Amino acid sequence: MKQKQCILPKFKRFTSGGAEVCIWENEPGETLTFTPSAEAEDMKPNRAVEWVSSRMALQELGVDLSCVKKDDFGKPHITNSEDHISISHCKQYAAAIRSPFAVGIDIEAITPRIERIATRFVNPKEEIVLDKNDRLTALYVLWGAKEALYKLYGKKAVDFREHMVASPFDLEERGKFYMEFLKGKPMLYVMRYEVFDNHVAVWVME
């Protein structure tokens, strides 16, 4: 394929709950030349930058990108390792996570538009989280947590409002809380999150 160019993002890497996490920031900097896969070949330039950033974050975690394949549900796997991975990207940031156990990660920019879909994913038991915290940020923490848990599950057919319910928590810049997954056998997961630069990143490990 013909090579393309995009902006090489900055990144930070850290360990959380036994998982390796990498968050990249897309900003003007060194130019990166890359050969996109068929998945990114026809993407618009801005979207391609996001896509490449998430793959570069994976690479920073030691993942051989040539060994990343998606299953029938679209969940990425590493074919040459038993480790599990998950990726996410938005306009300004991208994120990746790697662990010996099933994982999920989501990163979102905080904007008022989430209010339009709040009734579709907020369970009535979670209203206390919204009442006692910065509502807009709390909505994104809940949404990101459910997206991350959905990615961990990896089999689609999940009702965000009915199948995933967060326990009450006090919103902080960095924290954790519990979330029940109620599809099939009930499970309790620890959700970890970070709020930064008007963005929210949430991740979970089985």
Q: In this structure, are residues 8 and 27 in contact, taking their beta carbons and an 8 Å threshold?
A: no
Q: Quick one: CATH architecture of 107-205?
A: Alpha-Beta Complex (3.90)
Q: Quick one: CATH architecture of 4-106?
A: Alpha-Beta Complex (3.90)
Q: What is the pLDDT of residue 189?
A: 98
- Taking residues 52-59, what's their average pLDDT? 87
- Is residue 102 classed as helix, strand or coil in its secondary structure? coil
Write out pLDDT tens, residues 153-188: 998 889 999 999 999 999 999 999 999 999 989 999
Q: What is the pLDDT of residue 11?
A: 77
Q: What is the pLDDT of residue 8?
A: 46
Write out pLDDT tens, residues 81-91: 999 999 999 98
Round to whole Å and give the CA distance between 14 and 87.
15
Supply angle C-alpha 98, 70, 3, rounded to 5: 90
Res. 1 pLDDT band, cuts 50 70 90:
very low
Write out pLDDT tens, residues 100-154: 999 999 999 999 999 999 999 999 999 999 999 999 999 999 999 999 999 999 9
The residue assigned the tokens 């996570």 is: 97
Same fold, 4-106 and 107-205: yes
pLDDT over 70 for what percent of the chain?
Answer: 84
Q: What is the pLDDT of residue 36?
A: 52
Domain spans in the chain, listed from the N-terminal domain onward = 4-106, 107-205
Where does 13-171 have alpha helices with state H? Answer: 45-60, 118-121, 127-132, 135-153
Higher pLDDT, 27 or 202: 202
- Taking residues 13-31, what's their average pLDDT? 80
Report the amino acid identity of residue 180: E
Round to whole Å and give the CA distance between 205 and 18.
8
Lowest-pLDDT choice from 39-43, 107-111, 124-128, 189-193: 39-43
Q: What is the pLDDT of residue 25?
A: 86
- What Cα–Cα distance (Å) separates residue 13 from each residue in 55, 61, 86, 154, 155? 14, 8, 15, 24, 28
Mean pLDDT of the chain: 87
Lowest-pLDDT choice from 50-59, 61-70, 121-130, 144-153: 50-59
Q: What is the pLDDT of residue 39?
A: 57
Q: What is the pLDDT of residue 187?
A: 96
Tokens of 54: 């998430």
* The dihedral sign for the CA sequence 112, 113, 114, 119: positive
